[in-house]
Amino acid sequence: MDPVQQMKVKITELKSSAFSLPGMRGDQRVIDLLRDISLKIPRSLDVTVSTMVVDPETVKIKGETDTFNTVDIVKRRLEPSEYFGEVTISSANLDRSGKRVQFEIKLQRKK
């Protein structure tokens, strides 16, 4: 095979696997998970995500928000999902200033 054709084949392979992780279902890409999460959390909520870790079994989201109630709202909004089963609040605590709530939410990925 000529080098140009080899490069075209490789580019096609990379595009089809873009944003995927080992162990993920073939029809799931990380970008799809991110889209699902971002569409479910309304822009009107005061939520800042600082860290998101995606692995083959879970997605962990850490961030801060204005109230404990907002953490509960985020959890409830994420629960009806084609990508995630169980959604749990791992932690929710006031920050040092006492004005913001730091939280961690764990989403169990559907197999």
Each residue's pLDDT tens digit, 30-70 = 888 899 999 999 999 999 999 999 988 899 999 999 999 99
Residues 25, 19: Cα–Cα separation, whole Å? 12
pLDDT band at 23 (very low <50, low <70, confident <90, very high): low
Homologous superfamily, domain 3-109 = General secretion pathway protein M, EpsM (3.30.1360.100)
Predicted confidence (pLDDT) at residue 25 exceeds the cutoff of 60: no
Task: Answer for the pair 33, 59: CB distance below 8 angstroms, yes or no.
Answer: yes
Task: For tokens 């009806």, name the residue.
Answer: 80
**Run of H or E including 71:** helix 68-78
Question: What are the boundaries of each domain within the chain?
Answer: 3-109
| The predicted structure's pLDDT at residue 16 | 61
Residues 94, 12: Cα–Cα separation, whole Å? 47
Residues 81, 36: Cα–Cα separation, whole Å? 8
The structure tokens listed for 105 are 């939410």
